[in-house]
Amino acid sequence: MTENNLEQLLSVGSVVYLKEGTLKVVVIARGQLVKLKENENKPTYFDYLGSLYPQGYDVDNRYYFNQEQIEKVVFPGYSDDEEQRYQVVLEEWKKANQDKYILMDEES
């Protein structure tokens, strides 16, 4: 298990503990846009979508969270050249589309 001093997003399949969490969460998607309120004009951006580990995906138990909410990394998911390229593409997309979404810290 490693403390969270992450510079890049974790790969799909990574298993983490969230701050103040007691259950493991597995990363099942990244770069998620979610409309949290009916009247919101823009969706909110989240770094990750996770599910409880070892149960996996459950439509009623999805967890949207960001990098800074990760307390510990139990298992880093698989990473290769394609993963590294995805990291670059996602970061470029975020910068090019900043006006199209809300970051969680902007809402609070």
- Which among 64, 70, 3, 73 has a CA at the least distance from the CA of 29? 64
Tens-of-pLDDT digits for all 108 residues of the chain? 455 556 789 999 999 999 999 999 999 999 999 988 776 788 999 999 999 999 888 888 899 999 999 999 999 999 999 999 999 999 999 999 998 898 876 444
Other Cβ atoms closer than 10 A to 70 = 23
Query: What is the predicted pLDDT for the residue at 106?
Result: 44
Q: Using a cut of 0.75, tell me whether the model's pTM lies above it.
A: yes
> What local confidence, expressed as pLDDT, does residue 108 receive?
42
| Beta pairing class for 70-75 and 44-52 | unpaired
The one-letter amino acid code at 37 reads K
Q: What is the pLDDT of residue 1?
A: 47
